[in-house]
Amino acid sequence: MTTRRRVSSNVAATEQIKANSSESSITPSKLWQILIVSSFFFIPYFYLIFFHYRIDEELKRSIFINAVLSFLGFAITLFLIPVASRYVLRRNMFGYDINKKGTPQGSIKVPESLGIVVGTVFLVLAILFQYFNFTSDSNWLVEYNAALASICFMILLGFVDDVLDVPWRMKLVLPSFAALPLLMAYAGHTTIIIPKPFIQYVGLKVLDLGRSSQVLETDSIFC
């Protein structure tokens, strides 16, 4: 009886390990299929950019650097997603695909919060792109860095939402704070042209909103 119990317990443990491994298994990426399909779009695109059309050499250089960094980001993301998936599964941060409920795929654990991997890689590559394409006296440098700050805030907000399950009323407010760096760095025009049917009521053809335009732009987040 003791031998039978040990054998049965070992079989049960083995089955449990197999079940856990099947649940936590990550589907391998279809890298070659992606590259083959992408080549049908990239080859004509690069031919038109670098050979067919007459484009400024500086712009060609910027496009080429952007393409190289984008491919590098794709490769890094493809490598980091399985690594991050194992970490979030250990922390029990997963869900199930409700569209596959009742099928074998419906019982597989789907890792959550993986958007932080894609967002972080994009943020780092955007900073590197700034190094190759902007000079210290560039007029766009302030607004570019402000946009990076807004993106960083939204990445953090998305991760916090996955971990803490932020209620909807807070989700409507927090993006307005994320837009503040971009709004404060904006130094363009704040005037609007009044539509002709309303000129007789407003009394102006052009209206300068001033600082109030930043409030209106913050409100536009909710649209």
The model's pLDDT over 124-167, given as tens digits with 9 standing for 90+, comes to: 999 888 888 776 667 778 888 888 998 898 888 888 888 888 88
139's tokens: 């007029």
Distance CA(53)–CA(64), nearest Å, equals 15
Residue 23: pLDDT band (50, 70, 90) is very low
For the cut 80, the answer to whether the pLDDT of residue 77 exceeds it is: yes
- Confidence class of residue 4 from pLDDT cuts 50, 70 and 90? very low
For residue 138, the tally of other CB atoms under 10 A from its CB is 12
Average pLDDT for residues 79-83, to the nearest whole number?
Answer: 90
Same domain flag for 106 and 64: yes
What does the pLDDT read at residue 18? 44
What pLDDT does residue 17 have? 42
> Tokens 């309303």 belong to which residue?
198
Same domain, 17 and 59: yes
Is pLDDT above 70 for 213? no
User: For the chain, what is the radius of gyration of the CA atoms?
Assistant: 26
Rounded to whole angstroms, the Cα distance separating 157 from 116 reads 10
Query: Which has the closest alpha carbon to 66: 147, 145, 130, 143?
Result: 130
What pLDDT score does 25 carry? 59
Average pLDDT, the chain: 78
State the pTM of this model. 0.70
CA–CA dist 116, 114 (Å, integer): 5
For residues 127 and 20, give the distance between their C-alpha atoms in angstroms, rounded to a whole number.
40
Tell me: do 193 and 182 sit in the same domain.
no
Domain count, the chain: 3
119 shares a domain with 54: yes
* C-alpha angle 77-178-163 in degrees, rounded to nearest 5: 55
pLDDT at residue 125, as a whole number: 93
**Three-class DSSP category at 165:** coil
| Residue whose pair of structure tokens reads 């992606």 in the numeric block | 34
Domain range for 207 is 188-223
- Mean pLDDT throughout 41-56? 86
Binning pLDDT at 50, 70 and 90, where does residue 73 land?
very high
Q: Are residues 214 and 144 in the same domain?
A: no
Q: Do 4 and 16 belong to one domain? A: yes
> What is the pLDDT at residue 123?
93
28 with 125, same domain: the answer is yes
* pLDDT band at 207; cut points 50, 70, 90: confident
In the chain, what percentage of residues exceed pLDDT 70? 80
- Mean of pLDDT values over 103-119: 86
The answer, yes or no, to whether residue 48 has pLDDT greater than 50, is: yes
Do 116 and 25 lie in a common domain?
yes
State whether 53 and 92 are in the same domain.
yes
CA atoms within a 13 Å half-sphere pointing along the CA-CB vector of 177: 11
11 pLDDT above the threshold of 70? no
Contact between residue 88 and residue 111 where contact means Cβ atoms under 8 Å apart:
yes
Question: C-alpha distances in angstroms, 68 versus 126, 147, 150?
Answer: 12, 22, 24
Determine the pLDDT at residue 200: 83
Task: Check whether residue 51 and residue 90 sit in a common domain.
Answer: yes
